Amino acid sequence: MPRTIRVLHVDDDDALLDLTKTMLEREGEDITVESACSASGAMTCLRENGRIDCIVSDYEMPEMDGLDLLETVRGSRPDLPFVLFTGRGSEEIASRALSAGATEYLQKGAGTDQYTVLANRIRNAVAKRRAERERTHTQNRYQALIEHSSDLITILDENGVFEYTSPATRSVLGYEPEELIGEHSFEMVHPDDRSTVTDAFERMKADSSTTPSVSYRLQHADGEWRHLESNGTNRLEDPAIEGFVVNTRDVTERVEAEQLLSEEQELFDAALDALPHVFYVSNLDGSGWRWNRKLEEASGYSTAELRDIEIDEIFADEDVGKVESVIDRVLDGETVTYEARMETKSGELELRRISASLLTDEDGEPIGICGIGVGIDEDDE
């Protein structure tokens, strides 16, 4: 259903006001007409009803003619469509009206066809204004999003030179946005990462449908290297941009946290591998989760094989029931020490004393079973 168009018709002829209202509203359900018999009445209506979409005004009226009304309206509503609909037609009046900012000039005539023409002029003028307002609203909305975004948004030319950088330049890179305009972006990239970035840029340039994502280091204004992630889009053919739009996020804290976690993991694994005894962490069902190198050496199974191995394949058949019973007890919260024979990949049996306990998360919820297995001969030593 089309949006309603609210028209304010101004004319000092009451009969013509009634006729115009009838004819315009007959032209379609989308047009409703309010009438005013003078310019002052029109301004009162405009003040009290700000939702008027278009003014249709006669030229010759007492107190204030149509052009004076136009000038007054333009003072407060510069973009409101204004149609001068007058019986006194001349090129001079038409020229003055359009020069003063009238949207349309239409001379009154005989017959009802003129109202069809007038209705079409009104619809076109209102549609244009609404489209321009929507475009402005959209532009303002996107501008606000860009200006308040914590991500850095840049536009690069075909050579990777900054043409625009958003306000987040300050927080992400430590520069004022205008400082980077005209600078070559690739020169700020870490030498070891530069080829990765330029390759992604060339792919985006060669194929406008490509939207590459790349991780790299870029030098902050303070000289430090920051870890960034960027996604690019080729908008060369967009007349509003004519460049490459790049969205960038600072992921330094995440990368450093991952590096620290990796280092801690390596240290933890090294500590486990340094243990002289078998150490393992199993899932709650007894299947393997984590273990040290000693278990691989003692069992003869590789890392890949241990991930898929069943419990009855690593213990002697006669001891599987005992192990399963221990698992149940551990799940009930006990720490259990027991003896069982491990069966190696080659089929040899080795008696071990194993201490098993429940592994829980921060909330106390069980997540696995950990244990250490000492060979009986090792224990005797």
110-119: pLDDT as tens digits: 778 899 999 9
Which of 103, 135, 107, 141 is CA-nearest to residue 122? 103
Residue 335: pLDDT over 80:
yes
Give the strand pairing for 278-282 and 366-375.
antiparallel
Instruction: Tell me the mean pLDDT in the region 221-227.
Output: 95
Domain-ending residue, one of 223, 255, 287: 255
Q: Are 177 and 221 in contact, with CB atoms under 8 Å apart?
A: no
- For position 146, what pLDDT does the model report? 66
For residues 120 and 247, state if they share a domain: no
In a domain, 197, yes or no: yes
Segment 269-318, tens digit of pLDDT: 888 888 889 998 888 877 788 889 999 898 999 988 888 887 667 889 89
Instruction: Answer yes or no: is 188 within a domain.
Output: yes
Provide the Cα torsion 28, 135, 54, 73; round to 10°.
180
Q: Which amino acid, 166?
A: S
CATH number at residue 136: 3.40.50.2300
State whether 237 and 112 are in the same domain: no
Residue 246 domain-assigned (yes or no): yes
**Residue 149 reports pLDDT greater than 90:** no
CATH number of the domain where residue 336 is located? 3.30.450.20
In a domain, 238, yes or no: yes
Mean pLDDT of the chain: 88
In-domain check, residue 266 = no
Name residues whose C-beta falls within 8 Å of residue 177's C-beta, 6 or more positions apart in sequence: 164, 165, 166, 167, 169, 170
Are 140 and 154 within one domain? no
Residues 183 and 312 reside in one and the same domain: no
Domain count, the chain: 3
Q: Do the beta carbons of residue 366 and residue 331 sit within 8 Å? A: yes
Cβ 216 vs Cβ 192: under 8 Å: no
Average pLDDT over residues 135-148: 69
Q: Dmax over Cα atoms in the chain, in whole Å? A: 121
Please tell me whether residues 11 and 138 are part of one structural domain: yes
pLDDT at 142 over 90: no
Report the sign of the C-alpha dihedral through residues 166, 171, 172, 174, in that order: positive
pLDDT band at 222 (very low <50, low <70, confident <90, very high): very high
- Asked whether the whole model's pTM tops 0.85, one would answer no
Domain shared by 163 and 184, yes or no: yes
What percentage of the chain reaches a pLDDT higher than 70? 94
The per-residue pLDDT for 379 is 47
Statement to judge: residues 122 and 17 lie in one domain: yes
Reply yes or no on whether the pLDDT at 4 is more than 70: yes
Residue 191 tokens, joined: 């030498």
Domain end position, chosen among 116, 146, 176:
146
Same domain, 55 and 104: yes
What's the confidence (pLDDT) of residue 125? Answer: 93
**32, 5 contact by CB (below 8 A):** yes
Clarify whether residues 9 and 139 are in a common domain: yes
The answer as to whether 68 is a domain residue is yes
Task: Grade residue 377 by pLDDT with cuts at 50, 70 and 90.
Answer: low
| Alpha-carbon separation of residue 73 from 4, 69, 95, 167, 230 (angstroms) | 21, 6, 18, 38, 49
Residues 305 and 217 in one domain: no
Range with the largest mean pLDDT of 141-145, 222-226, 347-351? 222-226
How many Å apart are CA 335 and CA 325, to the nearest integer?
A: 13
**Domain extent at residue 220:** 149-255
Ramachandran category for residue 110: left, alpha or beta (phi over 0 → left; psi -120 to 50 → alpha): beta
- Pair (158, 38) in one structural domain: no
Residue 264 located in a structural domain:
no
Q: What is the pLDDT of residue 215?
A: 96
Cα–Cα distance for residue pair 168/170, rounded to 1 Å:
5
Same domain, 86 and 134: yes
Boundary (domain end) residue, out of 146, 170, 190: 146
Averaged pLDDT for residues 130-140: 79
Q: In this model, does residue 380 exceed pLDDT 50?
A: no
Closest CA to 108 of 93, 95, 123: 93
Confidence of residue 145 (pLDDT cuts 50, 70, 90): low
State yes or no: pLDDT of 209 exceeds 70.
yes
pLDDT for res 60: 87
Residue 87 is predicted with a pLDDT of: 77
Give yes or no for residue 7 having a pLDDT over 60: yes
Enter the tokens of residue 292. 């040290």
- CA distance to 42, 157, 269, per residue, from 26 (Å): 23, 54, 84
User: Which residues, other chains included, contact 110 with Cβ-Cβ below 8 Å and sequence gap of 6+?
Assistant: none
pLDDT category of residue 120 using cuts at 50, 70 and 90: very high
In a domain, 325, yes or no: yes
Positive/negative CA dihedral, 6, 10, 14, 16: negative
Predicted local distance difference test score (pLDDT) of residue 80: 93
